[in-house]
Structure 1
Amino acid sequence: MTVTAMNSALQQLQALAAQAADSAEVQSQSNGAATAGTFSAALKASLDKISDNQQKAAGESKAFELGAPNVSLNDVMIDGAKANIGFQFGLQVRNKLVSAYNDIMQMSV
């Protein structure tokens, strides 16, 4: 998967998190639901963690390429794998959220 595709998917996840936060805020204001706010906070925290892992992996990769003495290839590969696994997890969560949203929108009232 290219970096552009990864960034695009990450932006989609962030947009979904922002929409979830906005709708949770409106919902909690209208009926006092506390669970919606905790879900959006958990989703945002997960996206932030995924983003941090990707930035850390990219930083270590660049440091290794520049020949930094304190960065080993093992660390670069492990951090890259962690970032990839986190990204794939986030992508699957996004897919499930979109699927659930589509199912709810197709329900007849």
Structure 2
Amino acid sequence: MSNTTITPDMLLAQMRSMAAQAQGAQTQGLQASQETANGQSDFADLLKHSINEVNNASQEAKQLTDAFQSGDPNVQLSEVMLAKQKSGVAFEAMLQVRNKLVSAYQEVMNMQV
């Protein structure tokens, strides 16, 4: 079992990597919204894809947590913490979108009365 020290440079590299991944996700989101505008995709597909991404982030965090708890020397605490935070933020964002959708639905239903 190797005991690797986490340096500030390692954390900075991980943060830069995550920023690059987030930038890629934003680009994919922009492409998806352009496809929707072009009629190539619909809202249900976009929502389903988003939910799957949140689920994947949650599963990844769980797998890393389990591996760390079982003593896997290849899994660092920083990886586990970042995955858990990423999963939490994604889930919170999904909840906010759901709340907005429910609110919009209620407004539409009130207009029909």
TM-score by length of 2: 0.63
Number of aligned positions between the proteins: 76
Larger radius of gyration: 2
- Give me the whole-angstrom Cα distance separating, in 2, the residues matched to 1:108 and 1:48: 33
Larger relative contact order (Cα-Cα within 8 Å, sequence gap ≥ 6): 1
The structural deviation recorded for 1:38 is: 1.3
The unaligned stretches of length 5 or more in structure 2 are: 1-37
The percent of aligned pairs where both chains have the same amino acid is 41
Deviations 1:1-42 (A, max 9, x none): xxxxxxxxxxxxxxxxxxxxxxxxxxxxxxxxx85x511100
Give the partner amino acid of 1:106: N
1:92: which partner in 2? Answer: 96
The unaligned stretches of length 5 or more in structure 1 are: 1-33
Structure 1's consecutive aligned runs of 4 or more residues displaced over 4 angstroms after TM superposition are none
- Give me the whole-angstrom Cα distance separating, in 2, the residues matched to 1:38 and 1:49: 17
The structural deviation recorded for 1:107 is: 0.3
- Give me the whole-angstrom Cα distance separating, in 1, the residues matched to 2:50 and 2:77: 27
